[in-house]
């Protein structure tokens, strides 16, 4: 990769050229912004490291003006901003104008190289043909629709990088499965994938949950607790429902993502974290940042790459495949044959409304199977009660019935697969973390074989 450094400090240019040249990059540098556009035309870089200040003015206006000119003249060239006078406003404005990252001086060599490698990997993946073999594992992601295949193509490209990813889309569209696919396609796949439901963590427990605490750190802290960032170290942390996080917690999270350090509650020791961050939300974070309910700097920090997941209504052609997949899983658990569904019924199912998306379709399919366990064929009449139950706002006995069926299904899966979490989760068509949450929710004892 060819990299151009634009910085008025000769020491900075020399230091970066030495660092990057040793890593095999083709590097050039200039010390004055006036010749920057000519140098880009001559050197043809794929990446520019751009300083924000070239005189005693530390406002960043000079760098912003040059960034704007660069983006207009060379829109395909990636740009990383650098400044010794880092401010949140400059960082956010630069990212809005198209910069790929923002690094404060003095930089950490590892962070600088990681940022460059992310961009390099994205450049490389964008040139890979769609017919090339997929790197990511798409276990549990079912469908052949163009909308889904486009998503999976993006997943394959971003998985190889270490860049932060934001998954957006309505509830039930499969954001957790996509996050796991990104992790499984990455170089971190042999390390931990730690899922955190930020909407379910009370504000007062946020630091303890995320960073851990020492024994005696607060009343009730009788034992030391390992935080989620420590558990995810070297692996991937999945921050689900990040739009639910209040502003005070957003500040604490931003600090860790920016500085890659944190302290356990009750300890003065600074710990380092090396994690790949994937976030998810069903909210409009950009609008929330305008409304000042979500920090704009945090939004741009987690949003280096964004993947929007389509609703089930936008990929209706996948519904028959999904139904067969869910039926296969539950039929295997009950050691029964998968019931037949004729084309007319399948077509009718494909044109129903699923406000809960894939999650609702899965519940309806499994509930219909369980209520008609001995039927060799499922008809429209068999599905109607499950739709009525699913759309009921009051819940009632039907809701309790479905919950008891889910408990029974999970128990059967655990028994059949000798209490193996991985095998049971696969048979149920859910992720390991989803199965662990259900075990906790329903109070189901997990007794692994020794």
pLDDT (average), residues 218-227: 84
User: Greater confidence, 59 or 244?
Assistant: 244
Task: Report if residue 136 sits inside a domain.
Answer: no
Task: Report if residue 48 sits inside a domain.
Answer: yes
Give CA–CA dist 51/67, Å, rounded. 10
Give CA–CA dist 40/332, Å, rounded. 61
pLDDT band at 397 (very low <50, low <70, confident <90, very high): very low
pLDDT band at 274 (very low <50, low <70, confident <90, very high): very high
Instruction: Report whether pLDDT(310) > 50.
Output: yes
Q: Of 178, 129, 131, 174, which Cα lies nearest the Cα of 158?
A: 178
Q: Report pLDDT for 228.
A: 95
| DSSP SS3 for 270 | strand
Q: Report pLDDT for 403.
A: 67
Domain span at residue 33 reads: 2-126
Give CA–CA dist 323/287, Å, rounded. 35
pLDDT (average), residues 289-313: 92
Q: Let me know: does 70 contact 77? Beta carbons within 8 Å.
A: yes
Q: Let me know: does 79 contact 119? Beta carbons within 8 Å.
A: no
Give CA–CA dist 428/365, Å, rounded. 13
List of E strands, 264-371? 270-272, 276-281, 305-308
Say if residue 215 is in the same domain as residue 278.
Answer: yes
Instruction: Report whether pLDDT(392) > 80.
Output: no
Could you report the per-residue pLDDT of 190-202, keeping only the tens digit for each? 999 999 999 889 8
Separation of CA 4 from chain center: 31
Could you report the per-residue pLDDT of 28-65, keeping only the tens digit for each? 999 888 899 999 999 999 999 998 877 656 567 778 88
Task: Report if residue 51 sits inside a domain.
Answer: yes
φ and ψ at 277, to 5 degrees?
Answer: -105, 125
- On average, the pLDDT of the chain sits at 86
Give CA–CA dist 234/230, Å, rounded. 9
Instruction: Report whether pLDDT(396) > 50.
Output: no
Q: Report pLDDT for 57.
A: 60
Q: Report pLDDT for 54.
A: 76
Instruction: Report whether pLDDT(122) > 50.
Output: yes
| Percent of the chain at pLDDT exceeding 90 | 50
| DSSP SS3 for 297 | helix
pLDDT (average), residues 228-237: 95
Indicate which CATH number applies to the domain containing 213: 3.40.50.300
Looking at 308, 331, 349, which one is the last position of a domain?
Answer: 308
Say if residue 364 is in the same domain as residue 379.
Answer: yes
Task: Report if residue 141 sits inside a domain.
Answer: no
Instruction: Report whether pLDDT(131) > 60.
Output: no
Instruction: Report whether pLDDT(393) > 70.
Output: no
Q: What is the dihedral of CA 434, 439, 440, 443, to 10 degrees?
A: 160
Q: Report pLDDT for 394.
A: 37
Give CA–CA dist 402/425, Å, rounded. 19
- Residue 106 preceded by cis peptide, ω within 30: yes
**421-428 and 319-333 helices, crossing angle to 10°:** 130
Indicate the pTM of the whole model.
0.70
Say if residue 320 is in the same domain as residue 304.
Answer: no
Say if residue 271 is in the same domain as residue 365.
Answer: no
Task: Report if residue 138 sits inside a domain.
Answer: no
Instruction: Report whether pLDDT(130) > 50.
Output: no
User: Greater confidence, 288 or 413?
Assistant: 288
- How many CB atoms lie under 10 A from the CB of residue 190? 9
Number of domains in the chain: 3
Lowest mean pLDDT among 4-8, 88-92, 167-171, 195-199: 88-92
Task: Report if residue 139 sits inside a domain.
Answer: no
H helical segments located in 8-144? 10-22, 36-43, 61-73, 88-96, 109-126
Lowest mean pLDDT among 361-365, 374-378, 429-433: 429-433
| Percent of the chain at pLDDT exceeding 70 | 90
């Amino acid at each position: 990769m060819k990299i151009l450094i634009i910085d008025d400090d000769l020491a900075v240019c020399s230091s970066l050229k030495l660092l990057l040249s040793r890593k095999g990059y083709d590097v050039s540098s200039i010390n004055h912004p006036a010749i920057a556009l000519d140098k880009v035309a001559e050197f043809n870089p794929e990446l520019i490291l751009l300083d924000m200040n070239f005189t005693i003015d530390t406002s960043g206006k000079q760098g912003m003006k040059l960034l704007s000119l660069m983006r207009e003249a060379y829109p395909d060239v990636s740009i990383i901003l650098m400044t010794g006078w880092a401010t949140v406003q400059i960082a956010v404005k630069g990212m809005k104008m198209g910069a790929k990252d923002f690094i404060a001086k003095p930089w950490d060599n590892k962070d600088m190289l990681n940022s460059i490698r992310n961009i390099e990997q994205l450049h490389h993946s964008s040139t890979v043909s769609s017919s090339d073999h997929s790197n990511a594992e798409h276990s549990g992601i079912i469908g052949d629709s163009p909308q889904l295949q486009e998503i999976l193509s993006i997943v394959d490209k971003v998985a190889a990088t270490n860049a932060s990813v934001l998954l957006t889309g309505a509830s039930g569209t499969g954001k957790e499965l996509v996050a796991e696919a990104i992790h499984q396609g990455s170089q971190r796949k042999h390390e931990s994938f730690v899922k955190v439901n930020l909407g379910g963590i009370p504000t007062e427990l946020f630091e303890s949950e995320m960073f851990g605490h020492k024994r005696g750190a607060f009343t009730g802290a009788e034992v030391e607790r390992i935080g989620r960032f420590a558990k995810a170290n070297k692996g991937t942390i999945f921050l689900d429902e990040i739009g639910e996080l209040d502003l005070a917690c957003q500040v604490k999270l931003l600090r860790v993502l920016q500085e890659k350090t944190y302290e356990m509650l009750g300890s003065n020791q600074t710990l380092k974290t090396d994690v790949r961050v994937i976030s998810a939300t069903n909210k409009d974070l950009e609008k929330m940042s305008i409304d000042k309910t979500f920090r704009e700097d945090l939004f741009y920090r987690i949003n280096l790459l964004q993947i929007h997941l389509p609703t089930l209504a936008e990929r209706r052609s996948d519904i028959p495949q999904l139904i067969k997949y869910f039926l296969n899983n539950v039929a295997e658990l009950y050691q029964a044959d998968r019931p037949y569904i004729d084309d007319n019924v399948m077509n009718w199912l494909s044109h129903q409304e699923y406000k809960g998306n894939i999650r609702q379709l899965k519940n309806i399919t499994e509930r219909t199977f369980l209520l008609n366990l001995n039927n060799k064929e499922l008809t429209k009449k068999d599905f109607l009660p499950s739709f009525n139950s699913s759309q009921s706002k009051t819940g009632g006995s039907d809701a309790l019935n479905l919950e008891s069926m889910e408990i029974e299904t999970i128990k059967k899966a655990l028994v059949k697969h000798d209490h193996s979490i991985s095998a049971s989760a696969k048979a149920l068509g859910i992720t390991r973390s989803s199965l662990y949450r259900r075990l906790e929710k329903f109070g189901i004892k997990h007794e692994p074989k020794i």
